[in-house]
Chains A and B, each alone.
Chain A
Amino acid sequence: DPKIIQKPKYLVAVTGSEKILICEQYLGHNAMYWYRQSAKKPLEFMFSYSYQKLMDNQTASSRFQPQSSKKNHLDLQITALKPDDSATYFCASSQDGWGVQDTQYFGPGTRLLVL
């Protein structure tokens, strides 16, 4: 029952190009997140949004920009792609980002390969 949708499932990109990863949640949640999982590192927090406002940004690079056009959307734009960006990107959501004890539910991920 996919209440959190991520598109596309797979993505192949050329070094230097730009891609947008889509995330939509239909759980009625107010907080959304992005995480990254690569072969080299465990699941790594990237961003958190609550009520469409950025709460926390742990990415060192400005090449990663979240975009929230609606409360239940949090897309991730990645510019100037590098091979090191190859990873699976997971979107997650929780009822309220202010509450640290909210359960986060994850989407199926977008697997990005940068050649």
Chain B
Amino acid sequence: GEQVEQLPSSLIVQEGASVLINCSYTDSASVYFPWYKQEPGKRLQFIIDIRSNMERKQTQRLTLLFDKKTKHLSLHITATQPGDSAIYFCSASMNYNQGKLIFGQGTKLSIKP
């Protein structure tokens, strides 16, 4: 079945820096890739998504890049703030599985003030 991998598993950066989180998937049938943020003890919060017919999507300080050939995504966060400290999850959904999301193991981002 589909597998989603994220790198790095953790990241510590100074406030104001930019970060890059990488995600790869295995099944070319995956067509939808939502990302979520989870702060300690809180619910998963949807932050951005991309579909397989797109290469790039941007919202505020987030840019999501998608490469269908290499089955790779990368999430770029600019001008990081302490509130960005969280675990970030990449996920993938295929076009026949009625909404089932396969998640990566997460990237723990810590922002140093």
Residues of A within 8 A of B (CB): 4, 31, 33, 35, 42-45, 48, 50, 55-56, 58, 90, 92, 94, 97-109
The answer to whether A103 and B46 touch across the interface, beta carbons within 8 angstroms, is yes
Question: Which of A42, A43, A48 is B99 in contact with, Cβ under 8 Å?
Answer: A48
What is the minimal beta-carbon distance from B103 to any residue of chain A, in angstroms?
4
How many angstroms from the CA of A105 to the CA of B104 in the assembled complex?
Answer: 17
Q: How many B residues have CB within 8 A of the partner chain?
A: 27
* B102 is an interface residue with CB less than 8 A from chain A: yes
The answer to whether A104 and B34 touch across the interface, beta carbons within 8 angstroms, is yes
Question: Which of A44, A58, A90, A101 is B51 in contact with, Cβ under 8 Å?
Answer: A101
Residues of B within 8 A of A (CB): 31-32, 34, 36, 42-46, 49, 51, 89, 91, 93-106
The answer to whether A97 and B98 touch across the interface, beta carbons within 8 angstroms, is yes
Q: Can you offer 25 A-B residue contacts whose CB atoms are under 8 A?
A: A4-B43, A31-B99, A35-B101, A42-B103, A42-B104, A43-B44, A43-B103, A48-B98, A50-B98, A50-B99, A55-B98, A56-B97, A56-B100, A90-B44, A98-B99, A99-B99, A100-B93, A101-B32, A102-B99, A103-B34, A104-B34, A105-B46, A106-B46, A108-B42, A108-B43
